[in-house]
A = this chain, B = another copy of it.
Amino acid sequence: MNIYDISEKAGVSIATVSRVLNGNSRVSEKTRQRILAIMEETGYQPNIFARGLGLNTMNTVGILCADSSDAVLASAVYHIEQELHKYQYDALLCCTGYDVGVKEKYLGLLLSKRVDALILAGSNFVESDAEKNQYIIDAAKEVPVIILNGYLDAPNVYCALCDDADIMQQVTERFLKKTDRILYLYRSLSYSGRKKAEGMKRAFAAAGQELKPENVVLYNGAIDETKQMLLERYEQGARWDVILTSDDELAVGAYKFSRAAGLKVPEELQIVGYNNSKPSICCEPEISSVDNHLEYSSQNAVSMLMRVLSGEQVPSRITVSGDIIVRGTTVDL
């Protein structure tokens, strides 16, 4: 018996049950009594330590993040924490790593404690294998779950993300007017990694051009390894006019490859990074990059959550556009 079952039995939203548990006065006395009666009847036990049956909350939100030392995820965590503080909520940070089993364990740990909600910061929380997302769906039966830069269609799950497929399609289309020798280099099969690949494929399909499988490369290496990998392929005869990447560090790897191969950037090779993060402005020329407005989505994530906690109806997804920041590594954008 959990908050989700109670809401079904009472015929009200989870948010309304949450409001009653949180002592929010914006529930009619009649509804409040009905929900409390169902709770008593079903023997529902909220985590008393955490909420104290309609008295108050711990005002604490759990943030799960695979690796907060990753600059992009760190920025997300920072902006989430800043927003939460504006609403007098504390941030309990859990760095989970990338393993699904460990993520699940940490999430359970947070739930067993005292969080009012969970924010999963980063696209890597939504796996392509649906079964692996079940633990998130289950968690959402207990507290609202917000996913930053990922999307999962489930009750009580809310998503704030960037339209990665769309911007990647736009970027690819612009290059496709000149060349189809476009390489897409991406780090993981995370939700956004898949969406970016999808956008690229859509652009090729719309132009009626063939995207060679060897031009979509999944590669999770450091800067220098990326350079070496590209160099080996180049020495084996691979040729590209454009390299698109799923993050700026891969783009820096591509930039270093261009130097090692003696290719002029942007005349002989154009490079586009993603995230508009620090690494893109550390080399010369600076790297053109897609701004996915992570700060904005982090704020969206928290403001959505606050509305959910106060019992408002909110859309289950807010999507922002990605935008191209043109710098020195491109001429055709």
Contact residues in B for A91 (Cβ distance below 8 Å): 92-94
Q: Mark A254-279, 1 if CB is under 8 A from B, else 0.
A: 00100100000000000000000011
Contact residues in B for A282 (Cβ distance below 8 Å): 223, 252, 278-279, 282-283
The answer to whether A90 and B77 have CB atoms under 8 Å apart is: no
Contact residues in B for A113 (Cβ distance below 8 Å): 90
Residue of B nearest to A90 (CB): B92
The answer to whether B77 and A85 have CB atoms under 8 Å apart is: no
Measured as residues with beta carbon below 8 angstroms from the partner, the interface class of chain A is: 20 to 34
Interface on chain A toward B: helix, strand, loop, or mixed SS? helix
Known: A90-B113, A259-B284, A281-B223. A71 touches B68 (CB 8 A): no
- Which residues of A are interface residues toward B (Cβ below 8 A)? 60, 63, 67-69, 71, 74-75, 77-79, 81-82, 85, 90-95, 113, 223-224, 249, 252, 256, 259, 278-279, 281-284
The answer to whether B93 and A93 have CB atoms under 8 Å apart is: yes
The answer to whether B71 and A93 have CB atoms under 8 Å apart is: no
How far does the Cβ of A327 sit from chain B's closest Cβ, in whole Å?
Answer: 11
Residue of B nearest to A81 (CB): B95
In whole angstroms, what is the CA distance A28 to B69 when docked? 42
In whole angstroms, what is the CA distance A223 to B278 when docked? 10
